[in-house]
Amino acid sequence: MAARCMDRPFLLMQEQQSNPKKGKVYLVGAGPGDPGLITMRGRYLLEKAEVLVYDYLASKRLLRYVPANARFVYAGKRGGVKHTHTQEEINQMLVDFALEGKTVVRLKGGDPFIFGRGGEEVETLARNNIEFEVVPGVTSATAAATYAGIPITHRGYTASVAFITGHEDPTKESSNIDWSKIATGIGTIVVYMGIKNLPNIVSNLIDHGRSPDTPVAVVRWASTPEQKSVVGTLATIANIVADAGIKPPALIVIGEVVNLRDTIDWFEKRELFGKRIIVTRTREQASELVASLEENGASCYECATINIEPVEDYYILDEALERIDEYHWVLFTSLNGVKYFFRRLFEKGLDARDLKGPDIGVVGKSTADLLLEYGINADLIPPVFTGEGLAESLLDQGVEGRNVLIPRAVEGRELLPETLRGGGAQVTIAPIYQNVPPEGRRDELRAELESGEVDMVTFTSSSTVRNFLTMVDAADQEELERLMAGVNIAAIGPITAKTVTDSGLKVDVQPERHTIEAMVEEIIGFYHS
């Protein structure tokens, strides 16, 4: 027995020496921009990454899948702009992380092996005996064409397609591209990295026999809400691109298939396409509104205006919980009210069974749904989902002499408690959480507003309005109006709208039903009326 115990540390040491954790590098295609276009394998690997080395073109939205304690390395590389790391440095970095035993994900825009220098990266890994795997991605050429409404091949138009780089100067003597063959030998031609050389590329194709009338589309930031596309012919496109100020990253799609765009265009036809919308929200709130707006084509800037934090001292709630059976009603006016109430209840070793005495009322359907998750079926949901609605429903039942407990935010509205007190109830307000404006995002928000590109700001509660104004931090009313000039405002309901108008701003969109779905419908209606 004793001998076996002594053996073990030795065995362990041996194992460790002969079998240290080996690092591995995964070259993963991020897809063209829309984060939904990464492969399932790619996403799985992001979730397993210990080190992430990512590019300028890889969607930043994919970073959320990487564990927060992973090491994030931005490798940069953006045509024409100073590179953050040279290609050699990146190659070496991948080797070094792998030698440290790390699981490394090298995330690259589009497909790693299509003009992505992925080949060079894995060559270096192979030379250094590092294990690797390559996960293909949706390349930007197919995405740009598809999202611009162009089928890259089509039986009636073309049987061949070529992907070429426009990076090299087509006027140079020893070009790697045989323009005479490309010009007339291929149906659809897609050019990567060709914006700077566009005038040379088109004249080269024309000089080598392609008709100047061949249709051409240029697509920038394909598959993202910022996508911009223009259409012309080989003869006209260079001027059109220059006039529209289109800069990289963009792709050039050349060929008769471009004509199909008139019929097939679907992405840019979505109802909120091109609209820039600031969505103010609490950090905890699910981004349902953002998802729905983006589904309809809007480009959203998510602005967390509120952090929800627990109060430092729960003494009022604690006292109420000691004699909870003396209460006739417990009322929840927000999701966070439910969440923080139960958090405290559990901390005190209690649970839903201890709430069998009082009836439970909620302000609306989602609060009722959340409550159900904690094992409680609400006794009262008002027909109108507001504090007023809840107050009225209770008054209808009669509250004379009733004990009512309202667990809620420190800075909640007084309407409900006051109305109930007016009806003869004893009301205890138990503040259990507070809204705190987050630090540090002010400059970003100001820059958004100063850019003049924002079409709308949405507010889903009075606190989002108040905290937005705190964050904007306008010197005076005049500055606020200047920043908000041309920016429409959507408010989810009458209370939120009133907080907006009280600040001197105007509400343009206010749905009748106070739900995210109704709000999005109303926003679409607003832009199409």
Site for ligand SAH in 240-259 (CB under 6 A): 248-251
Catalytic residue among 55, 102, 228, 339: 55
The least CB distance from residue 140 to ligand SAH, in Å, is 3
> Which residues are within 8 A (CB) of 433 and not within 5 positions of it... i.e. 6 or more apart?
308, 309, 310, 311, 336, 337, 339, 340, 409, 410
Nearer to ligand SAH, 220 or 408 (CB): 220
State the minimum distance, in angstroms, from the CB of residue 168 to ligand SAH: 13
For 463, the token pair is: 């606190």
Q: How many whole angstroms separate alpha carbon 109 and alpha carbon 30?
A: 5
Q: What is the per-residue binding string for ligand SAH in 178-197, x denoting contact by CB under 6 A?
A: --------------xx----
# chain residues binding ligand SAH, by CB under 6 A: 25
Helices 335-347/365-373 angle, 10° precision: 20
Give the residue closest to ligand SAH by C-beta.
110
Give the C-alpha distances (Å, rounded to integers) separating 459 from 79, 412, 494, 508: 38, 17, 11, 12
Binding track, positions 389-418, relative to ligand SAH; x by CB under 6 A: ------------------------------
Min separation Cβ 146 and ligand SAH, Å: 12
Tokens 């792709």 locate to: 251
Nearest approach in angstroms of CB 163 to ligand SAH is: 9
Q: CA 379 → CA 16, 384, 393, 395, 504, distances in Å?
A: 61, 15, 12, 15, 39
The residue range among 81-89, 102-110, 154-162, 512-520 that interacts with ligand SAH, by the rule CB under 6 A, is: 102-110
Does residue 35 bind ligand SAH (CB under 6 A)? no
In whole angstroms, the minimum distance from the beta carbon of 103 to ligand SAH comes to 22
The residues in 110-129 that bind ligand SAH, with binding defined as CB under 6 A, are 110-111, 114-116
DSSP 162: E
Q: Which of residues 37-66 bind ligand SAH (CB under 6 A)?
A: 57
Residue 32 as a binder of ligand SAH (CB under 6 A): the answer is yes
CB 183 within 8 A of CB 212: no
- Sign of the Cα torsion 423, 428, 431, 432 reads negative
Q: Say whether 55 is catalytic.
A: yes
Q: Are 116 and 110 contacting, i.e. CB atoms less than 8 angstroms apart?
A: yes
415-421 long-range contacts, CB within 8 A, separation 24+: 415/387, 415/388, 415/391, 416/331, 416/333, 416/387, 416/390, 416/391, 419/388, 419/391, 419/395, 420/391, 420/394, 420/395
Contact pattern for ligand SAH over residues 128 through 147, marking x by CB under 6 A: -----------xx---x---
Nearer of residues 248 and 389 to ligand SAH, judged by Cβ: 248
CB under 8 Å to 117, separation ≥6 — which residues? Answer: 87
Selected catalytic residue, list 24, 34, 77, 111: 77
Of 24, 111, 193, 456, which residue is the catalytic one? 193
Question: Which residues participate in catalysis according to the annotation?
Answer: 55, 77, 193
Q: Site residues (CB under 6 A) for ligand SAH?
A: 32-33, 57, 79, 108-111, 114-116, 139-140, 144, 192-193, 219-223, 248-251
